[in-house]
A and B are shown apart, each in its own frame.
Chain A
Amino acid sequence: MTPLLTANTLSVQFGGLKAVNNVSFEVWPNEVFSLIGPNGAGKTTIFNLISGLYRPTAGFVTFEGEKISHLAPYEIARLGIARTFQNIELFEHATVLQNLLVGRHCHRHTGWWQDLLFTPMVRRTELQFRRTVEEVIEFLDLQHYRDQMVAGLPYGVRKVVELGRALAMRPKLLLLDEPSSGLNVEETEDMGFWIEDIKHDLGITVIMVEHDMSLVSRVSDRVFALNQGEELATGTAIEVQSHPAVVEAYLGGADD
């Protein structure tokens, strides 16, 4: 079996700051892989390296065996890598439905001149898109919010809409940046169920950055801990949590 995604000696440097330093890991198909670490450890930076928003200063990322580090973000999205953002980046002045439909963008095959005339082909694709989006709406229980503007939605719902938008892409790999941040206990629990369903029912591989260790232990197959841009430990949630380097990173060493 070949890994779905690998990071090979990945480094990125902003001026004198090594945000990610010589990090390597591989993610296997249909697993939930969590990145944990204290604030500023470089977790989101790794996401930005995968989705092409940053260019690595050394090393590279492969997806399905192909190098992707030189590709533009939109090209990487088209390969089937979807993501959410830590601070929610929805299209605020559009309805939930329109937001999810944007998720289908990669799958369009009409040009602007066809859109201008709204040809039968455009209509057909729109209806197909809608059907896929409705499946996502049903999966995430968003029926109630379908026609509401995002700008008026509560935080917890926005978080789910953002997840929905990523799922509407029907990606092979889903990057979730702190899916539970800002959610209450009940919403976090729902999020956990969805992540499990995404893995089991939709067969999508998930890489997740998360601080809530109970959620991490519940859903992840493997956990990768890092601090100050460097790998500390990899393994199951329990192994990583009890690893001395991880304990030290979170709580400080005995000699501090």
Chain B
Amino acid sequence: MRFLFKTDYQQDIRLFKHGGQAFWYSALAVALLAAPWLLSDYWISQLVFIWIYSIVSLGLMILVGFTGQVSIGHAAFLAMGAYTEAYLHAHGWPFVLSLGFSALVAGVTGIIVGLPALRVKGMYLAIATMAFGFIVEEGVARAEHITGGNAGKMLGALEVFGIPIDSELRMYFLTLIVLALVVLGVMNLMRSPTGRAFVAIRDSEISAQSMGINLARYKTTAFALSAAITGLAGALYAHKLRFISPEQFTFLQSIELLIILVVGGVGSIYGAIFGAAFWIVVQQLIVLAKDWLPPGIGQQTGLQPTIFGLILVAFVLFEPMGLYGRWLKIRTFFQLFPFYRKGLFRRQKSYMKSERLK
């Protein structure tokens, strides 16, 4: 186990807390840069999906994992980003501008959706965001002159700073760069007062406001940031698929995004990325397994949702902290070997809260 000798407050602010972390993250960076040359186009394409889904989950994580506000309409923000990008791209906007504008449109929508969040909590907020999801889904299908309606919309070739993004390899690096920037932004946010205010609101609204945190402002900020990041992912998603239609942004998609968070581990940046990676990889494994399974099982409709359902149930039952929680436990096991004990991560029951104020 590593013990850090701290002599400077800066050490607690650093992104890499010690040399070991710096080493392993550099190794990861090298691996990610080398990966496209080692993998087939098919798997590069899957990695692109992982990066895009990671961005979405990071967006959702800000809202659900850090600020504690539920949203089951997040596919709508994805749609806002995707369609804004598709529209602007068709009108010849340069990519960097249209990408930023897509995030902005989604972010402003987030503020509008966030406003009812100031009044409603928990279940009621979930219903409100779900309703918003339906409205956008329906709106996209109806606004045919902008979105192409149910027939969908094609996107033309993409060019960034004059470089045509015409191969999986280039798409890989484009999405990876955006993901890296988003990760950095979220990490910055979480080590600064804004992130702490989010966590404070999640854990106790009553004392957050007694500490001088303006609930309305921070909840709105959380919604806006979450939606903007999701919109960013939506724009990339549109370019990745080159074709978008309303059925990609359904209620089910929103639920999937939440499942990714739960599987990955609610409340951590790692969790968002682990969840996204798990989601895409398992999807592909199911596709591969279909060929091996007896046709009676492999060709069944609804095989994939069933398996995902089972996985979710298993996680909720056996590992509520998600993949990230499991990773923490494994790491601690080796750090403390042979002194790891089973109840190390078990939280004691929390004490009574001041219910009279709620």
Q: Which A residues are closer than 8 A to B by beta carbons?
A: 44, 48, 51, 53, 72-74, 77-78, 82-83, 85-94, 97-98, 101-106, 108, 110, 112, 115-118, 122-123, 125-127, 129-131, 134, 151-152, 155, 158, 165, 169
Contact = CB atoms under 8 A, between A and B. Distances in A.
A118 B191 contact: yes
> Looking at B13, B191, B193, which has the most chain A CB atoms within 10 Å of its CB?
B193
A90 B204 contact: yes
A112 B209 contact: no
A151 B347 contact: yes
Contacts of A94: 196, 199-200, 203
Give the interface residue-count category, chain B.
Answer: 35 or more
List 7 tightest A-B contacts by C-beta distance, closest first: A106-B212, A115-B192, A77-B212, A89-B207, A91-B203, A118-B188, A73-B209
A63 to B, nearest CB: 14
Contacts of B197: 102, 105
Given A105-B212, A169-B212, A85 B354 contact: yes
Nearest to B214: A74
Contacts of A116: 185, 188-189, 194
Contact of B211 (A77, A93, A117): A77
Contacts of A115: 188-189, 192-195
Interface string B318-358: 00000000000000000000000000000110111110110
Given A73-B209, A74-B214, A77-B210, A92 B193 contact: no
Interface of B: 9-10, 12-13, 185, 188-189, 191-197, 199-200, 202-204, 206-215, 221, 225, 267, 347-348, 350-354, 356-357
17 contacts: A44-B356, A73-B210, A74-B213, A77-B211, A90-B207, A102-B197, A102-B211, A104-B193, A105-B196, A110-B192, A112-B225, A115-B188, A116-B188, A116-B194, A126-B191, A131-B9, A151-B350
A141 B167 CA distance: 60
A93 B203 contact: yes
> Looking at B10, B202, B208, B352, which has the most chain A CB atoms within 10 Å of its CB?
B208
A51 B210 contact: yes
A206 to B, nearest CB: 16
A87 B353 contact: yes
A105 B215 CA distance: 12
